[in-house]
């Protein structure tokens, strides 16, 4: 585990540093207001990451070494009493007190650095942060607690919830009720995770990926229906699913209903990409669990040279499972996310998990993965209202 503090002019800026250096799995432990040497106010956010990667560990430890060096330099310059130098300070057993304290500090730091080299820097952080004390936001009326319970019940990632509520608690409310502020702030954060105006043009190749049962084939059909029926564009369907029984018949039924071409996937990638007069939509099999099979799957998807790579997730999936799958899907560099089965549950934690773990934006949402219904652009305000119910927080 690595614990580290970040300081910036605002909570949002500090949280941005947390995500940049520690990633989306970081957990915010505390926030407090601080003032720098020039008297300028700021916000300090302390966060931790349980299982850092090698790159994260190297980056964080490098920065930590700089902080330790600064601490040692500060000790050398400030340990002596005012108006004296370390040499003239009171001696203990023939050794100046300041030098003795400095030597003790250096020994402790050397021991802690040795522990840090084993990827454990919790003790270093505890020592450094204890010098400054701590200040936690208060929750006198219990509103933050109720918001936390509500977001947790919606299966929103705990890292996101902690950072969101910490930022909310440190923001000046200006007299605005906390529930209204929370919904407004959450709407803005969700909007940053979405791209609701994706335009597909002739010549584009779209490959649709995701776990089995997420609704990939249904999304292909609904997207094709939208392009043909609403945007009046020519569409071509392709199925690479050679795993699921009846997969070819399912995509064939969409092609027959819509009156579009269904292309045989056998052949070269050039054959799949040569149609410049239509939008090509490519369905794929469910993600394999086996490592070697997944590598083969990723290579096959990457070989298509798609302009758009859509990852589909079901709203019924646990956020923790979505994170695991989305991190694996980073191999194919997804460009967009789609969420299905929004009519089955009001829990929207899957949206945050999919976007944060994959690094892609949510472009489409849909209801149950049957052939009926349509896809539509996500509405961040509506999703925020679903996650944070004003009535529930006022109970």
pLDDT at 16: 81
Residue 23: which residues within 8 A CB-CB, separation 6 or more?
Answer: 49, 53, 56
In the chain, what percentage of residues exceed pLDDT 70?
70
Residue 98 has pLDDT above 70, yes or no: no
State the CB neighbour count (10 A cutoff) for residue 99.
Answer: 17
In this prediction, residue 189 carries a pLDDT of: 93
Mean per-residue pLDDT, 48-56: 66
Quote the pLDDT of residue 52: 67
User: What phi and psi, each to the nearest 5 degrees, are found at residue 105?
Assistant: -65, -45
Asked whether residue 43 carries a pLDDT value surpassing 70, the answer given is: yes
| Better-predicted residue by pLDDT, 289 or 185 | 185
Which is more confidently placed, 100 or 318? 318
Per-residue pLDDT tens digits for 162-178: 888 888 877 766 677 88
Q: Which residue has the tokens 């669990």?
A: 289
Q: pLDDT class for 227, splitting at 50, 70, 90?
A: very high
> What was the pLDDT predicted at 322?
93
- At 58 the pLDDT is 57
Q: Does the structure show a pLDDT above 90 at 82?
A: no
Whole-number pLDDT of residue 163: 86
| Contact partners, residue 392, CB within 8 Å, separation at least 6 | 146, 150
Strands 91-92, 95-96: parallel, antiparallel or unpaired by DSSP?
antiparallel
d(CA 192, CA 198): 15
What is the distance in angstroms between the CA of the first residue and the CA of the last residue of the chain?
Answer: 38
What the block records as the tokens of 153 is: 């019940």
């Amino acid at each position: 585990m690595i614990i580290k503090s970040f300081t910036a002019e605002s909570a949002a800026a500090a949280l941005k540093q947390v995500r940049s250096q520690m990633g989306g799995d970081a957990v915010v432990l505390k926030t407090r207001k601080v003032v720098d040497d020039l008297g300028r106010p700021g916000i300090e956010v302390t966060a931790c990451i349980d299982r850092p990667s090698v790159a994260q560990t190297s980056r964080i430890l490098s920065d930590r070494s700089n902080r330790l060096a600064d601490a040692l330099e500060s000790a050398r310059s400030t340990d002596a009493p005012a108006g004296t130098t370390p040499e003239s300070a009171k001696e203990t057993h023939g050794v100046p007190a300041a030098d003795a304290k400095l030597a003790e500090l250096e020994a402790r730091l050397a021991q802690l650095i040795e522990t840090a080299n084993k990827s454990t820097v919790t003790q270093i952080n505890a020592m450094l942060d204890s010098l400054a004390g701590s200040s936690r936001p208060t929750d006198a009326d219990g509103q933050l607690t109720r918001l936390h319970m509500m977001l947790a019940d919606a299966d929103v990632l705990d890292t996101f919830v902690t950072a969101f509520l910490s930022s909310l608690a440190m923001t000046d409310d200006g007299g605005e009720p906390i529930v209204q502020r929370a919904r407004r702030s959450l709407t803005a954060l969700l909007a940053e995770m979405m791209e609701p105006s994706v335009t597909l043009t002739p010549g584009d190749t779209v490959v649709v990926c995701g776990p089995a049962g997420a609704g990939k084939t249904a999304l292909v059909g609904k997207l094709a229906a939208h392009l043909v029926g609403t945007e009046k564009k020519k569409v071509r369907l392709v199925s690479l699913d050679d795993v699921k029984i009846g997969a070819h018949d399912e995509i064939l039924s969409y092609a027959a209903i819509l009156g579009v071409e269904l292309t045989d996937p056998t052949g070269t990638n050039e054959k799949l990409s040569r149609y410049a007069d239509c939008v090509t939509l490519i369905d794929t099999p469910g993600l394999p669990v086996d490592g070697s099979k997944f590598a083969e799957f990723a290579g096959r998807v990457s070989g298509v040279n798609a302009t758009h790579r859509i990852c589909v997730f079901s709203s019924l999936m646990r956020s923790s499972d979505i994170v695991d799958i989305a991190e694996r899907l980073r191999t194919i560099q997804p460009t967009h996310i789609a969420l299905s089965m929004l009519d089955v549950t009001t829990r929207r934690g899957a949206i945050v998990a999919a976007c944060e773990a994959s690094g892609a934006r949510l472009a489409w949402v849909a209801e149950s993965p049957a052939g009926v219904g349509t896809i539509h652009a996500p509405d961040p305000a509506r999703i925020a209202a679903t996650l944070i119910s004003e009535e529930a927080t006022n109970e």
